[in-house]
Amino acid sequence: MKTREVVIAGNWKMYKTIEEAQSFIYELMAMGTNPTSSIYIAVPFTALSAASTAAKGSSIRVGAQNMHDATEGAYTGEISGKMLLDAGAQFVILGHSERRHLFGETNEFINRKVKAALKLGIRPILCIGETLQEREENKTENVLQNQLESCLSGISENELRKILIAYEPVWAIGTGRTASSEQAEEMHRFCRGLLSSKWGGEAAESISILYGGSVKPENTRALMEQKNIDGVLVGGASLTVDSFNKIINYQPINRY
């Protein structure tokens, strides 16, 4: 039995219209979710308002996949935390590797976003992870340390407790090549150790660290059995109700 919050999170990326998002949520609600896990779904901006209305009264939390750190301003094409709140977002994914690699986001920018989200009461899911090249060059721990320290710079212990961390090795995202549960556990343990050295053991032990990268119904259980893996952040397999629901109910014993 996990003592930390167990989080099953879907990241829809650039998929689903408003209507598709609503139907997904209604169908998932009708299936009855695992009461021992928190369910998060990061929807496209356009579906935020409708999806959060659809999920009202359920345990499903709806959130966004990115935000700007400024409250408002001349930032064409960007969206602020204030706007996300207005549209019903309860959390936001920050520093996803697709944002870092395709859109050039730096650790410093992500750090500002984390602070802005916390200030507004939007829960950040901070993503970190190494590329294949970095792994092959044995730089994984350095990369994770640098990302964690920079993205969480200036964060207090109390603030840290509100954050979810997602370890997503870039080479495992959308490739069908998941990290083995032991590989993932090793990195989760490393990250928790790092958090402990900066913010103390008690805070580090309370933080849920999710794994992301080719999570499927078939591999969820093995991942979740690891001591330091407290949840999963799911891309492709969160797009159909059937597979996402199987992931949510990875532990048949908890079904009701």
Query: Which residue among 34, 235, 245, 249 contacts ligand 13P (CB under 6 A)?
Result: 235
Taking the complex as a whole, how short is the minimal distance between the CB of residue 157 and ligand 13P, in angstroms? 26
Taking the complex as a whole, how short is the minimal distance between the CB of residue 126 and ligand 13P, in angstroms? 12
Query: DSSP assignment of the chain, as one string?
Result: --SSPPEEEEE--S---HHHHHHHHHHHHHH---TTSEEEEE--GGGHHHHHHHTTTSSEEEEBS--BSSSSSS-TT--BHHHHHHTT--EEEES-HHHHHHH---HHHHHHHHHHHHHHTPEEEEEE---HHHHHTT-HHHHHHHHHHHHTTT--HHHHTT-EEEE--GGGTTSS-PPPHHHHHHHHHHHHHHHHHHH-HHHHHH--EEEESS--HHHHHHHHTSTT--EEEESGGGSSHHHHHHHHT-SGGG--
Beta carbons within 8 Å of 150's beta carbon, 6+ residues apart? 107, 108, 110, 111
Query: Which residue among 151, 233, 247, 248 contacts ligand 13P (CB under 6 A)?
Result: 233
User: Which CB sits closer to ligand 13P, 181 or 214?
Assistant: 214
Per-residue binding string, ligand 13P, 16-55, x by CB under 6 A, is: ----------------------------------------
User: Which CB sits closer to ligand 13P, 44 or 236?
Assistant: 236
For residue 168, state whether it binds ligand 13P (rule: CB under 6 A).
yes
User: Which CB sits closer to ligand 13P, 15 or 190?
Assistant: 15
11, 212 contact by CB (below 8 A)? yes
For residue 174, state whether it binds ligand 13P (rule: CB under 6 A).
yes
For residue 114, state whether it binds ligand 13P (rule: CB under 6 A).
no
Query: Which residue among 80, 212, 228, 230 contacts ligand 13P (CB under 6 A)?
Result: 212
Query: Which residue among 118, 160, 164, 173 contacts ligand 13P (CB under 6 A)?
Result: 173
User: Which CB sits closer to ligand 13P, 41 or 233?
Assistant: 233
For residue 88, state whether it binds ligand 13P (rule: CB under 6 A).
no
For residue 126, state whether it binds ligand 13P (rule: CB under 6 A).
no
Footprint on this chain of ligand 13P (rule: CB under 6 A): 11, 96, 168, 173-174, 212-215, 233-237
